[in-house]
Amino acid sequence: MHNFNFPKTDRILKHNDFLQLSKKGKKVKNKYFTVVYSQSFFGTTRLGLTVSKKAGNSVLRNMIKRNIREYFRINKGCFKNKWDINVIAKPEAGSLKSALLILSLQDVFRKIDEGLDN
């Protein structure tokens, strides 16, 4: 049975971790998200979120973050490797419905997992 929890150890919270990830990580982009990722040294796949005010008001930004967290929580066990992932929402993400947001996330997460095989 899968463990679907999302503890603090699965989150990127420290400013230095975000900076290191942006310097050393690879980028994957689509119309709604830019995802920066690199191999994790913490033994688990971790998620960081960046949603600027350009994406909308606080209610909309928090909805985007909740949907990203929920998608990650359910699908983190599907990754072949352990990654540090920072999802950066573009302003266009503010206009997405939840179903389209999920499809867009599936696209970028699939690209991350396939990136190591190439």
- Per DSSP, 16 falls in state H
Nearest CA-CA partner of 88 in 41, 42, 54, 40: 54
Mapped onto helix, strand or coil, the DSSP state of residue 18 is helix
Q: In what order do the strands lie in the sheet with 83-89?
A: 26-29, 33-39, 83-89, 46-51
| Reported pTM | 0.88
Is the distance from CB of 68 to CB of 49 less than 8 angstroms? Answer: yes
- 22-59 pLDDT per residue, tens: 999 999 999 999 999 999 888 889 999 999 999 999 99
Predicted local confidence at residue 116, as pLDDT: 46
Domains of the chain (ranges; CATH) run: 8-115 (3.30.230.10)
One DSSP character per residue, 85-115 reads EEEEE-GGGGG--HHHHHHHHHHHHHHHHHH
* Cα–Cα distance measured from residue 105 to residue 35, given in angstroms and rounded to the nearest whole number: 9
Backbone dihedral angles phi then psi of residue 98, each to the nearest 5 degrees: -55, -40
